[in-house]
């Protein structure tokens, strides 16, 4: 494993743990050159999904693309990255259970919306404003109103 700090490829594993569902292995590593520590996650890459975009183009499912969008929505909020990764794992679990390996991007977006709404309302509204392509402040305000109405 290459050190992200000094790019040395000699590291040692200090600690290894499985997640609760045993789908991910977390390893705490130390670089043998610079001595800095970092964490890696290992998971079985078994998702062979094709995402069907709105314009009917197809592309390979990309976990990092989903994670990047979620991190942007959760930026500067008190949401640990472990919760974001768990949310992605849950979404991928639901996608695996679909009858087909071709998944509409809107289905993925709807899953994200549903799960973010439960995780954090601000992250949800940020994601929804981009995903649902709010055209103006009125649409943004309507979504906030729906969110506040359900809370009461």
Residue ranges covered by each domain of the chain:
1-44, 46-151
The number of beta carbons lying within 10 Å of the beta carbon of residue 85 is: 17
pLDDT digits over 77-125, tens only? 999 998 999 999 999 989 988 888 899 999 999 999 999 999 999 999 8
Element (H, E) at 63: helix 63-73
Q: What is the pLDDT of residue 41?
A: 87
pLDDT digits over 23-68, tens only? 789 999 999 999 999 999 887 766 689 999 999 999 999 999 999 9
The number of beta carbons lying within 10 Å of the beta carbon of residue 104 is: 14
pTM (2 decimals)? 0.66
Please state, in angstroms and as integers, the Cα–Cα distance from residue 27 to each residue in 14, 15, 41, 42, following that order.
Answer: 7, 6, 6, 8
**Across the strands, what pairs with 102?**
50
């Amino acid at each position: 494993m290459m050190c992200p700090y000094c790019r040395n490829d000699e590291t040692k594993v200090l600690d290894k743990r499985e997640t609760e569902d045993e789908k991910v292995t977390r390893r705490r590593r130390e670089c043998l050159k610079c001595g800095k520590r970092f964490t890696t996650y290992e998971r079985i890459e078994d998702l062979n999904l094709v995402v069907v975009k709105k314009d009917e183009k197809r592309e390979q499912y990309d976990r990092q693309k989903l994670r990047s969008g979620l991190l942007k929505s959760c930026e500067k909020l008190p949401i640990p990255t472990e919760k974001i990764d768990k949310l992605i794992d849950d979404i991928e679990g639901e996608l695996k259970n679909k009858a087909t390996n071709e998944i509409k991007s809107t289905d993925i977006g709807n899953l994200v919306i549903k799960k973010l709404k439960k995780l954090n309302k601000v992250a949800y509204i940020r994601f929804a404003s981009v995903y649902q392509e709010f055209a103006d402040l009125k649409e943004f305000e309507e979504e906030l109103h729906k969110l506040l109405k359900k809370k009461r």
